[in-house]
A and B are shown apart, each in its own frame.
Chain A
């Protein structure tokens, strides 16, 4: 016994009912239809003895609030006992996405960015680059870089030519010692370790406990 509809399909199984909810329409529309079906149609199966209900959301992702809204509607019918709500488990592992920008940050200019940033170009003395996430500079960092401006202590700063006037990660401010200018020419990055600024070669970035997508070879 299956009742066909636009967005809400109610199916009977051996020991109860399955609500199949469309996963492409607007959520509000879906709730509206669900409410309508419960209140106006199918009274024969929706009143009577207690029935177990499984709700299947398809591939729709919903928030806790949205889930609660839906359960509230179902609970209006006293005889429906919700046994399970099926929706996609926790978000799949997200591959970090970097914004890419290019140009030059000259003296007096400030580049703000929300998130992680891959910057192709130079940051000159007197210029600043500020990000809520990580900063990767393909070019020279001669000015000021501030990663994790909103307090993310995990944020890092990397640059092909690492000669900053000042580095900041979250609340930590570090003035590089004078000898930095003449360090080896390999790409370097800065990170916080126990609240202190550390500098290392970019190849050691995997030693940070952060979940980068690490290439291990075959």
Chain B
């Protein structure tokens, strides 16, 4: 029996889909059998980020309404044999499926796959309820901004009152330089308010945008700092203890030497 993890945030544009795609791909990279599920009906993006848009034949709604079998709707990834995606419908809206239907589909997937990563739409309405219906665990994504933290807090409250066990936090798009100058909330500020376990921090990385546009998840590029961060998160999901990334790593050789000789 696999484990279903919902990636959610409340606020839009903080990186749910990117996080879903990258955690899913990173888990596949670590040899796990993974299925990504897009529940953002009407505004699907996960297929675009994964570069699988042109392979979609059936979608989540077709499965829910019995127009096809679950296996027919799954899209196999082009890079990994053990990575699949269940796309959302683009022509309908969130009310096209019910939480019970989604729960049944997730239960079905859990028999086949070790990890099911559910990409949740923004908001707290029907789409959110659909997305969390079948999930065992939740990862809440936020950025170091007050508005995102506020919405994450709301989502955590809703998750805590559902059956999902203690949600984990990803702080996305951190800019170390802005944190240092005090212009951006630092991780401690965010954690103090949200008060849940941190499962990863992801630095802001231009490569993520480039990767999303080319349909190639960031994790595939080992030079990207965001990629390392996502790989670390995947390892923590598997239960490894991986220390948090040092954000101010981008120092020149000279400062490294200085530190080595105790002058830094």
A181 → B minimal CB distance (Å): 12
> Helix, strand, loop or mixed for chain B's interface?
helix
- Asked whether B233 is an interface residue with its Cβ less than 8 Å from the other chain, the reply is no
Q: Is the CB of A104 within 8 A of B195?
A: yes
A-binding segment of B73-81, B149-157, B237-245 = B149-157
Interface size of B as a range? 10 to 19
Query: Within the assembled complex, what's the spacing in Å between the Cα atoms of A9 and B255?
Result: 97
- Report Cα–Cα, A115/B119, bound state, in Å: 43
Interfacial residues of chain B within 204-227, with CB under 8 A of chain A in the complex: none
A interface secondary structure, majority? loop
Query: Which residue from chain B places its CB closest to the CB of A139 in the assembled complex?
Result: B195
Q: A125-B150, A126-B150 are in contact. Are A108 and B193 (CB under 8 A)?
A: no
Contact yes or no, B154 A125, CB < 8 A: no
A105, closest chain B residue (CB): B157
CA distance A41 to B157 in the complex (A): 69
Type the 1/0 row for B131-151, where 1 means its CB is closer than 8 Å to any CB of A.
000000000000000100011
- Please report the number of residue pairs spanning A and B whose Cβ atoms sit closer than 8 angstroms: 32
Smallest CB separation, A141 vs chain B (Å):
12
A104, A127, A140, most chain B CB atoms within 10 A: A104
Q: Among B146, B156, B195, which residue has the most Cβ atoms of chain A within 10 A?
A: B195
On A, residues with C-beta under 8 Å from B are 104, 106-109, 122, 124-127, 140, 142
Which residues on B are within 8 Å of A, measured CB to CB?
A: 146, 150-151, 153-154, 156-158, 160, 192-193, 195
Besides the known contacts A107-B157, A125-B153, A125-B193, 20 further A-B residue pairs in the complex with CB atoms under 8 A apart: A104-B195, A106-B153, A106-B154, A106-B156, A106-B157, A106-B160, A107-B151, A107-B154, A108-B154, A108-B157, A109-B157, A122-B195, A124-B153, A125-B146, A125-B150, A126-B150, A126-B154, A127-B157, A140-B192, A142-B193
The 9 A-B pairs at the shortest CB distance, nearest first, are namely A106-B157, A107-B153, A107-B154, A108-B154, A106-B153, A124-B153, A109-B157, A107-B150, A126-B150
